């Protein structure tokens, strides 16, 4: 027993020492990187500024560390620049071999290396860099695939947009957050591409994201598609109601009114429809919302009251009538909405 305990003690001592050494190495690497940044960061900034102002030649970064710092500084600058200056800086990175390096790293066995390479290519954004990024849409790693999809979505042509949509459909269950970011980027840069995700047959999870994006970006060209979605299952209908509320436009009011008063729908879907009616602000919805003040669900009553408050004088009149009700559950939300 003593021998076993002795060996265990030595092993633990060694393990403690190894962990402490590893920690020291991690800290030392962080300090070294910080020191390099402090030393070469300002130099890289000045070289890039000089190159862009055409008063200095192409910067020459020697070692690996210096090259990494130059790239980091350039990437930050690319985020701030636009037009010809941006193109010139991107061209500089291309000339310095960063695109070639990143393209080579896209073939690495490590997912994190491939993802960083994809990010570099996308930020540089020259036609050559984007062409090199395209194959990453078929990468085995979901993170690499979606990094490429997100970044290509911002510069996509029709063909690439279709490939990005395909990646979104493929990964919506595994990486819904990343897919939402990609669809949002697509909606901002190529709103026409969002339509493909609102059609029948698209996975419902992707459709809900596309509806949210259409609403959030107020893509009025999709009102008809969103209205069609109101007839779908509850989660899709609720998302579509929210989207229609954000876009506005009175064409959807009859369908939303029908949905809000449909007792067969879930409370969440009806509440979303009632909220949308309030957001759109068409007084035609007053009778429906007034009727909802007597609904069984608390949230529905509260949203109906808030909606009525947004419908101008007819809505306020309805609230005053409800505020005089003998039923406390009708009176309270109406009175609160009147006071808000």
Partner 1 sequence: VIVYTWFVIGFFIAFIAVNSVVLILAAAEVRRYVIRASSVGLLRMLRSPLTPPISVLVPAFNEAAGIVDSVRSLLALDYRQIEVIVISDGSTDDTVGRLTADFDLRQVSRPTPPFLPHQPVRALYASPSGLRLLVIDKENGGKADSLNAGINFASYPLFCTLDADSILEQDALAKATLPFVEDPERTVAVGGMVRVANGCKVERGRVMEAHLPRSPLAMFQVIEYVRGFFGTRTGWSAINALLIVSGAFGLFRRDVVTAAGGYRVGMVGEDLELIARLHRTCRRARRPYRIAYVPDPVCWTEAPEKAKFLRRQRQRWYRGCLETLLIHRGMLANPRYRAVGLVALPTMLLFEIAGPVIELSGYLVSLAALLLGALAPVTFLLFLAIAVLYGQVLTVGAVLLEDVTPNQHPVWAETSRMRWYAWAENLGYRQLLQCWRIAGLWQLVRKTGWGAMERTGLSG
Nearer to partner 1, 255 or 302 (CB): 302
| Residue from 181, 194, 247, 293 in contact with partner 1 (CB under 8 A) | 181
The region of 26-34, 52-60, 219-227, 312-320 touching partner 1 under the rule CB under 8 A is 26-34
Nearer to partner 1, 28 or 250 (CB): 28
Q: Which residues contact 255 (CB under 8 A, 6 or more apart)?
A: 227, 230
Q: What's the CA gap between 19 and 182, in Å, rounded?
A: 40
- Cβ at position 42, least distance to partner 1 in Å: 23
Q: Fill in the per-residue mask, 43 to 82: x = in contact with partner 1 (CB under 8 A), - = not in contact.
A: ----------------------------------------
Nearer to partner 1, 101 or 283 (CB): 101
Q: Are 108 and 89 in contact (CB under 8 A)?
A: no
Residues 108-167 that bind partner 1 (CB under 8 A): 111-112, 115, 119, 122-123, 143, 146-147, 150-151
Q: What's the CA gap between 194 and 88, in Å, rounded?
A: 32
Distance, C-alpha 124 to centroid of its chain = 21
C-alpha to C-alpha distances, 304 to 163, 226, 297, nearest whole angstrom:
42, 21, 11
- DSSP helix/strand/coil, 46: helix
The region of 88-96, 159-167, 270-278, 294-302 touching partner 1 under the rule CB under 8 A is 294-302
Q: What's the CA gap between 315 and 285, in Å, rounded?
A: 9
The region of 24-32, 38-46, 195-203, 283-291 touching partner 1 under the rule CB under 8 A is 24-32
Nearest to 305 by CA among 330, 268, 326, 325: 330
Q: Does 22 bind partner 1 (CB under 8 A)?
A: yes
Nearer to partner 1, 5 or 55 (CB): 5
Nearer to partner 1, 185 or 237 (CB): 185
Nearest to 127 by CA among 176, 90, 170, 80: 90
| Residue from 44, 92, 164, 184 in contact with partner 1 (CB under 8 A) | 184
- Tokens of residue 307, six digits: 């909606």
Q: Does 26 bind partner 1 (CB under 8 A)?
A: yes
Distance, C-alpha 22 to centroid of its chain = 37
Phi-psi region of 139 (alpha: psi -120 to 50; beta: other; left: phi over 0): beta
Residues 193-252 that bind partner 1 (CB under 8 A): 209, 212-213, 216
Q: Are 229 and 240 in contact (CB under 8 A)?
A: yes
Nearer to partner 1, 50 or 204 (CB): 204
Q: What's the CA gap between 97 and 9, in Å, rounded?
A: 52
Within 13 A of 246's CA, how many CA atoms are on the CB side?
A: 16
| Residue from 91, 128, 169, 176 in contact with partner 1 (CB under 8 A) | 176
Nearest to 330 by CA among 298, 282, 283: 298
Q: Does 263 bind partner 1 (CB under 8 A)?
A: no
- Cβ at position 277, least distance to partner 1 in Å: 18
Q: Does 192 bind partner 1 (CB under 8 A)?
A: no
- Cβ at position 202, least distance to partner 1 in Å: 17
The residues of the shown chain that bind partner 1, judged by CB under 8 A, are 1-2, 5-6, 8-9, 12-13, 15-16, 19-20, 22-23, 26-27, 30, 111-112, 115, 119, 122-123, 143, 146-147, 150-151, 175-178, 180-181, 184-185, 209, 212-213, 216, 298-299, 302, 332-333, 335-336, 339-340
């Amino acid at each position: 027993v003593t021998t076993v305990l002795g060996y265990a003690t030595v092993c633990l001592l060694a393990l403690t020492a190894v962990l402490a050494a590893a920690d020291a190495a991690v800290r030392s690497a962080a300090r070294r990187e910080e020191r390099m940044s402090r030393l070469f960061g300002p130099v890289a900034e000045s070289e890039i500024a000089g190159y862009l102002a055409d008063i200095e030649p192409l910067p020459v970064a020697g070692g690996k560390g210096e090259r990494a710092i130059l790239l980091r500084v350039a990437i930050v600058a690319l985020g701030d620049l636009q037009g010809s200056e941006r193109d010139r800086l991107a061209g500089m990175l291309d000339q310095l071999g960063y695109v070639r390096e990143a393209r080579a790293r896209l073939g690495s066995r490590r997912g994190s290396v491939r993802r960083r390479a994809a990010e570099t290519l996308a930020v540089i954004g020259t036609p050559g860099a984007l062409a090199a990024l395209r194959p990453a849409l078929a990468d085995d790693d979901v993170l690499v695939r979606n990094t490429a999809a997100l970044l290509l979505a911002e510069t996509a042509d029709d063909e690439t947009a279709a490939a990005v949509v395909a990646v979104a459909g493929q990964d919506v269950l595994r990486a819904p957050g990343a897919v939402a970011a990609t669809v949002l980027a697509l909606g901002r840069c190529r709103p026409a591409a969002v339509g493909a995700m609102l059609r029948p047959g698209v996975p419902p999870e992707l459709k809900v994201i596309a509806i949210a994006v259409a609403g959030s970006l107020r893509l009025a060209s999709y009102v008809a598609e969103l209205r069609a979605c109101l007839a779908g299952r509850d989660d899709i209908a609720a998302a579509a109601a929210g989207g229609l509320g954000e876009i506005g436009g009175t064409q959807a009011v009859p369908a939303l009114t029908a949905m809000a008063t449909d007792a067969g729908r879930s409370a969440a879907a009806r509440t979303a429809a009632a909220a949308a009616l309030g957001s759109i602000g068409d007084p035609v919805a007053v009778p429906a919302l007034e009727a909802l003040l007597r609904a069984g669900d608390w949230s529905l009553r509260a949203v109906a009251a808030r909606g009525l408050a947004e419908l101008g004088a007819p809505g306020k009149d309805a609230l005053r009538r409800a505020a005089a009700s003998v039923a406390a559950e009708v009176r309270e939300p109406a009175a609160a909405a009147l006071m808000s």
